[in-house]
Structure 1
Amino acid sequence: MKKIKTAIIGAAGYTGGELLRLLVHHTACELMYVHSNSQKGKKVTAVHPDLIGDTELEFTDEVQTEGIDAVFLGLPHGQTKGFLEKHPFPAHTVIIDLSTDFRDESHGFVYGLPEVNKTKIQGAKKIANPGCFATGIQLSLAPAIAKNWVKETAHISGITGSTGAGKALSETTHFSYRTNNMSVYKLFTHQHLKEIKQTFGQINPDFGQELLFVPYRGNFSRGIWITAYFPFEGELQEAVQAYKEFYQNAPFTWVSEADIDLKQAVNTNKCILHLKKEKGQLVIYAAIDNLLKGASGQAVQNFNLAFGLEENMGLNLKSIAF
């Protein structure tokens, strides 16, 4: 198999590190260079020491555009557009952007949620990777939106690990703040709601109900737990069957009829769902890893689809389980 010549821009952070961990072992990928302005000249293992024995690459601050088949962009939100204007890649290069910049599908980008947009992603040259909360919420509610079951306000809560805030230290990511603590932020106004509503409008053009989302900071490092619910007149088994049918061709999204917990999904590219019906409400739980299915793992899933590879190539990962 001819290797796909690949680069990572912004490889020093959490999502960049996860991309490295996945791609150094991806059998179809040849990592040509990894970019970081802050870590230039350092060995990758000096910044990501767990990769000792896996790579001898060093970080560079130079951007090579020619001869690259695929590039992953792990830049801070708002910087990707300017970067691509300064460093245009050839038309044949597949660009996978992990920032918010093109999730509105502007500038020819396709929104990279494979469970909804697989056909569009296959063969795409520009892919905007979904946000972490956006992934969990969309996979929680997409089958219900498609069935037009959400006729009133949907209530959603989500708790995320500290890695969701990125590697740069901030007041609310300090250990002394985060440990034994919980807090709400961006009540009903989280930036991921925009892309969520965009997808739901594409699934069901008649959808216009309110999504009331309460995001929480959790006192753990990685993972996202979503709870979503709305009034539902049908039977639980009808809903379970609809969800299973919706995701029947999705290799990473699974509907469990047993109760679930977060650690089942952590360190995997899975989204694990569980449905309940209580007091006239259909309740959906979802568990994902914010750095994998919510970021780098899904980016590699999109890479596989764009190049016609097996969708799960390089992503058969083991959960931490306990």
Structure 2
Amino acid sequence: MIKVGIIGGSGYTGGELIRILLNHSQAEIDFVYSTTRAGKKITSAHADLLGVTELAFTGDVNLNVDLVFLCLGHGNSTKFLNANPFSENTKIIDLSNDFRLNDDAIFQGKKFVYGLPELLKADIKTANYIANPGCFATAIQLALLPLAKDNKLQNEVHINAVTGSTGAGVSPSATSHFSWRNNNASWYKPFTHQHLGEIGESLNSLQENVGPLFFLPNRGNFTRGIFATLYTKYDGSLESAQVLFKDFYKNALFTQISDEPIDLKQVVNTNQAHIHLHKHGNTLLITSAIDNLLKGASGQAVQNMNLMFSFNENEGLLLKAGVF
């Protein structure tokens, strides 16, 4: 049994971590840190946990826990670690983008490993510090990694992906509050989204000179999930592409290749990633779906924790989709 701390526990990703860890047989929550809710019960932020836990938020940090999750806004993890020097025995999983890129991976002498198990499982198992991937980055990389490994990303890749409102965080904004988001749709950060950097580094680790990625993110009028469609030139048959993807993910517990078209509800509330392939002429269409808060954030973080401590990889993550 390991003791874990959560920094930033009142937000969406912190809440999902609490829910998972309360049902994890090998991990015990030591503290949940929050600057805005210290002293208040966890249920003041996560009402669905009423009757499940009596834990309260704290303003104190135990610097000697076995593992700490950082659920802070981008740019704040570095500030927090500078102010709170954890023990050398404390492993860290950061859910922000502070350490994802190669140029940012070493901080205070700590080497952060990029935490995408389908790509770097062996490295994650021996790592002490993990940079958890972004949600869009996870959905898109899983759709493209098998092609990169086979040197098939020579041409342009066009990506259209829609995300739920929880991807914008728990604090209301002009584009996340109900009155604007409901019955509405819009794009943002066209072709410049910050996740393109980590996507590019992963693909380039498998294939040199990857073709350009044209990524158009969209806001959906639903709360959670990412549904991505990607297409690129592919000269092989659909069957050869299916063999390529199924072979690449044959040992991946949470990434499934579906022979039938997929939809978002299949993966919402789970740590699963579902992928479907379709061929039209010489164009390969890849559809990828994940839950942005689970496989795109907290679920993948726990998956990484399981690998780091040699637990069963799916411990705490056998979750049911809300398909109806």
Q: What is the TM-score normalised by the length of structure 2?
A: 0.97
Counterpart of 2:170?
Answer: 167
Contact residue 153 and residue 210 of structure 2 kept, 8 A: no
Shift of 1:123: 2.2
Of 148, 152, 156, which aligns to 2:155? 152
Counterpart of 1:246?
Answer: 248
Contact residue 301 and residue 312 of structure 1 kept, 8 A: yes
Shift of 1:91: 1.6
Of 90, 93, 100, which aligns to 1:93? 90
Contact residue 136 and residue 288 of structure 1 kept, 8 A: yes
Residue identity matched to 2:80: F
Residue identity matched to 1:288: I
Shift of 1:279: 2.6
Q: Percent identity?
A: 53
Partners of 2:209 and 2:267 lie apart in 1 by: 29
Residue identity matched to 2:320: K
Counterpart of 2:42?
Answer: 44
Partners of 1:239 and 1:88 lie apart in 2 by: 48
| Secondary structure in 2 matching 1:198 | helix
Counterpart of 1:4?
Answer: 2
Counterpart of 2:81?
Answer: 84
Counterpart of 2:317?
Answer: 315
Counterpart of 2:114?
Answer: 111
| Secondary structure in 1 matching 2:175 | helix
Of 176, 179, 184, which aligns to 1:176? 179
Contact residue 114 and residue 133 of structure 2 kept, 8 A: yes
Structure 1 portions without partners, runs of 5+: none
Q: Deviations over 1:85-140 (max 9, x none)?
A: 11111122110000000001411100000000000000210000000000000000
Counterpart of 1:54?
Answer: 52
Partners of 1:310 and 1:248 lie apart in 2 by: 17
Residue identity matched to 2:152: W
RMSD, aligned α-carbons: 0.7
Shift of 1:47: 1.1
| Secondary structure in 2 matching 1:230 | strand
Count of residue pairs brought into register by the alignment:
318
Counterpart of 1:142?
Answer: 145
Residue identity matched to 1:81: T
Shift of 1:147: 0.7
Contact residue 18 and residue 291 of structure 1 kept, 8 A: yes
Runs of 4+ off more than 6 Å: none
Counterpart of 1:71?
Answer: 68
Of 268, 271, 281, which aligns to 1:269? 271
Partners of 2:161 and 2:209 lie apart in 1 by: 22
Contact residue 109 and residue 127 of structure 1 kept, 8 A: yes
Partners of 1:203 and 1:17 lie apart in 2 by: 35
Contact residue 148 and residue 210 of structure 2 kept, 8 A: no
| Secondary structure in 2 matching 1:149 | coil
Contact residue 200 and residue 207 of structure 1 kept, 8 A: no
Residue identity matched to 1:198: E
Shift of 1:280: 1.3
Counterpart of 1:293?
Answer: 295
Shift of 1:276: 0.3
Partners of 1:279 and 1:177 lie apart in 2 by: 39
Partners of 1:213 and 1:133 lie apart in 2 by: 10
Of 232, 249, 253, which aligns to 2:234? 232
Partners of 1:289 and 1:208 lie apart in 2 by: 27
Shift of 1:262: 0.4
Structure 2 portions without partners, runs of 5+: none
Partners of 1:71 and 1:24 lie apart in 2 by: 15
Q: Deviations over 1:228-261 (max 9, x none)?
A: 1100110001000110000011000000001111
Partners of 1:115 and 1:219 lie apart in 2 by: 30
Counterpart of 1:209?
Answer: 211
Q: Deviations over 1:41-97 (max 9, x none)?
A: 10001210111122111001111102x001000011001011111111112211000
| Secondary structure in 2 matching 1:173 | coil
Partners of 1:203 and 1:63 lie apart in 2 by: 40
Q: Deviations over 1:202-233 (max 9, x none)?
A: 122x1331100000000000000010110011
